[in-house]
Amino acid sequence: MTLWNGSYPFYPGANACFPFDTTRAVIVTIFLSMLATSIIILPGIRGRGRLFWFLRLVLGLFMGAVILTVQFTRDWETGWVQANTSYKSFSPAQVNADIGLHIGLAGVNVTLRGNPVQQINETINYNEHFPWNFGADYDHSYSQGLEKGLPSPILYVAEKFTTQSPCAVHRQYRIAGHYVSLSLWLAFCTWLISILLFSMSVLLYGGHMLLLTAALTFFSLIFFSTARNPLKCPIQFGSVSLRTDYGESFWLTLAAGLLCLLLGLGIVILNSVQPEKLKLIFNLDKSSKEEMWDKSCLPAEPSCSAQDELMVPLGELCHVTATKL
């Protein structure tokens, strides 16, 4: 087989990776729009309740955005390695590249980026996704990669997660991803219920919903940790091996869970120890009672005004003199 413009003719061009995740961008844009809209109406809130309302808004939106976003991210577990490796099958060409592995709830992403990007008359910048979510066939996606003639490092890493691989990690990662996704969807629902309860001033049950949200979030982390075991067959590139560790999505989920736990515990404890301070934080202090008292004596209600007119001090009464007949 002969070369055609410096490359083998049955290999297609490089699959350039998209600069950002569109799903994450949409979710972040929606929550930032909600935050911006709330900031616009912030000057309409009087007194110190403005600060408490803003803090509740920011913390609530952060927890909801994290719980929803990590459902679609692909960096629950990540790893990078730089190595000199063969580029394609049946070719003695060696390239220096960064090889990345990104494990998400719905599949695996394998990244190949050359150092430099332009080598052997090609642009080495790949980012391939191999799904294992419901309705997806990982082995079929891997077979399609073989037919497309993807670079050897990508196929080598993706092969470790096939159902026929001796590494035997496909089933546990796939099942763990399904349970993690289910737990996070339930956590998102309980977060919505807590927001609804707080808006109805049912503070105690709102705190209980936050505690339930934290519990579901921690369950999702436990489910993913049980699937993360060292590979029985390491991913080796010459003298170096590709090792993975927890990614950004894992730590963001842990932060959101801890925040839900602390806020839920704080609300429950304050409700039992010092309920007045809790009402102050949620703008349910004595000012609302004073406003109700003032409204009860408005001119629209004649009872108060009539009483004020009839009650006259005894000292101001006129003295009446009587004459004998």
160-189: per-residue pLDDT in tens?
999 988 888 888 899 999 999 999 999 999
Judge whether 149 lies within some domain.
yes
Per DSSP, helices labelled H in the chain are 22-40, 49-69, 138-148, 152-159, 170-199, 203-227, 248-273, 275-281, 287-295, 302-310
Type of residue numbered 290: E
* Residue (of 108, 50, 53) closest to 76 by Cα position: 108
Of 67-76, 220-229, 252-261, the one with minimum mean pLDDT is 220-229
- Residue 12, pLDDT > 90, answer no
Type of residue numbered 276: E
Residue 49 Cα distances to 34, 45, 153, 286, angstroms: 19, 7, 57, 13
**The pLDDT value given to residue 285:** 59
Question: 91 with 120: CB under 8 angstroms?
Answer: no
What is the number of structural domains in the chain? 1
Q: What are phi and psi of 132, to 5 degrees?
A: -140, 20
- Residue 305, pLDDT > 50, answer no
Give the rounded percent of residues in the chain with a pLDDT score beyond 70. Answer: 78
Print the domain residue range for 102.
77-169
Judge whether 226 lies within some domain.
no
Type of residue numbered 281: I
Residue with token string 């996070």: 184
Judge whether 95 lies within some domain.
yes
229: confidence class by pLDDT, cuts 50, 70, 90: low
- Residue 9, pLDDT > 50, answer no
Of 2-6, 58-62, 187-191, the one with minimum mean pLDDT is 2-6
Judge whether 162 lies within some domain.
yes
- Per-chain mean pLDDT for the chain: 80
49-69 and 22-40 helices, crossing angle to 10°: 170
**The pLDDT value given to residue 281:** 78
Euclidean distance between the first and the last CA atom of the chain, given in angstroms as a whole number: 147
Residue 77 CA to residue 105 CA, distance in Å, equals 10
Mean pLDDT of 198-217: 92
**The pLDDT value given to residue 49:** 67
Judge whether 146 lies within some domain.
yes
**The pLDDT value given to residue 138:** 93
191: confidence class by pLDDT, cuts 50, 70, 90: very high
**Cis peptide leading into residue 9 (ω within 30°):** no
Judge whether 197 lies within some domain.
no
Higher pLDDT, 110 or 14: 110
Mean pLDDT of 216-226: 94
Torsion from C-alpha of 134, 136, 139, 143, nearest 10 degrees: -170
Judge whether 111 lies within some domain.
yes
**The pLDDT value given to residue 302:** 47
Judge whether 154 lies within some domain.
yes
291: confidence class by pLDDT, cuts 50, 70, 90: very low
Residue 164 Cα distances to 142, 167, 189, angstroms: 12, 9, 37
**The pLDDT value given to residue 131:** 92
